[in-house]
Amino acid sequence: MSKLSIIIPVYYSSDTLEDLYADMKAKILDQLEEVEIVMVDDGSGDNSWEIMNRLKSQDDRIVCVKLSRNFGEHAALLAGFNVCTGDCAVTKQADLQEDSTLILEMYESWKKGNKVVLAARKERKENPFKVFLANCYYAIVRKTVNKNMPAGGCDCYLIDRKAIEVLKLLDEKNSSLTLQVMWLGFPTDVIYFVRQDREKGKSRWTLSKKVKLAMDSVLAFSYAPLRIMMGVGVVFNLLALVLLISVVVEKFTKGTPVAGWASLMCVLLCGFGLIMVMLGIIGEYVWRSLDASRKRPPFIIDEIIGSEDGRTEKESK
């Protein structure tokens, strides 16, 4: 009998947790042979932890995991994968924007032999500006990192136990977990769904977090920024050479004096600006290497309630 683990990262989700559990209970839980729900509190400042424990008292299939502080969704999902005991595990957002029945479709695809099943968005009924930013991000990812990334992107996925064990070995920080899953190379299926707009609660997915995800996704999986820097440098050097030759030729053929202080300063300022940006990109790569060399854990588990044998324990990763 196969066991499915549902990993739910929780961050300021007190408004939606009870509705989320009720939705899953009504639509999918009774249709699964064996299931566990791993809720990971990623340092929420509201009463999400208390609600998780209340739901745990109603359903023994729930495992409550509390991180010592906010480490980010990437780390929260990794913590869930480390705790879960299923033959496969699926990620589930707590914002009620994905239909719970999607899990059943992904589970059936896994039974057919697919070790990775991606839930891709074929349509997003959200704010047009958010959709535009998301489309830009996924276009960059497809161009520079992984051409197989679905056009609408994906946040939810199901992975086999083999994939889970590999992710635990990678233990990467400052990266994209979704791209790590796609990088594994296991047989993959894609299931499409319509992402609904958020009706309850407030999204904590800020613009700064989106920018960081974009940077992490590109810098962790691609050297395209370094290639672009080299290309820009070559182009500027060629332009400078052409300008130098034209100035010298005009000086000796027409006697035109070398002038143009304002234009020269514009070129210098533009060049220095590009140099600073390029140094910043190199610095991002260097910092990520330094952060990885410290070997600090990507997350610290403070407490687990409802482990496989039913005991309550505290541990750290």
Domain ranges across the chain: 3-221+298-313, 224-293
- Going across the sheet that includes 88-91, the strands are 188-195, 116-124, 156-160, 88-91, 3-10, 34-41, 62-67, 301-305, 312-313
pLDDT in tens, 65-78: 999 999 999 999 99
Confidence at residue 126, expressed as pLDDT on a 0 to 100 scale = 83
276 pLDDT tier (thresholds 50, 70, 90):
confident
Per-residue pLDDT averaged across 27-54, rounded? 94
Is the pLDDT assigned to residue 93 strictly greater than 70? yes
Per-residue pLDDT averaged across 140-146, rounded? 91
Confidence at residue 310, expressed as pLDDT on a 0 to 100 scale = 42
Average pLDDT, the chain: 88
Per-residue pLDDT averaged across 223-239, rounded? 85
Is the pLDDT assigned to residue 267 strictly greater than 50? yes
27 pLDDT tier (thresholds 50, 70, 90):
very high
189 pLDDT tier (thresholds 50, 70, 90):
very high
Per-residue pLDDT averaged across 300-314, rounded? 68
Confidence at residue 271, expressed as pLDDT on a 0 to 100 scale = 81
Confidence at residue 259, expressed as pLDDT on a 0 to 100 scale = 65
Confidence at residue 304, expressed as pLDDT on a 0 to 100 scale = 94
Confidence at residue 113, expressed as pLDDT on a 0 to 100 scale = 93
Proportion of the chain above pLDDT 90, given as a percent: 51
165 pLDDT tier (thresholds 50, 70, 90):
very high
- Identify the residue with better confidence: 161 or 277: 161
State the pTM of this model.
0.84
Confidence at residue 316, expressed as pLDDT on a 0 to 100 scale = 43
Is the pLDDT assigned to residue 312 strictly greater than 60? no
Q: Which fold has domain 3-221+298-313?
A: Spore Coat Polysaccharide Biosynthesis Protein SpsA; Chain A (3.90.550)
- Identify the residue with better confidence: 134 or 255: 134
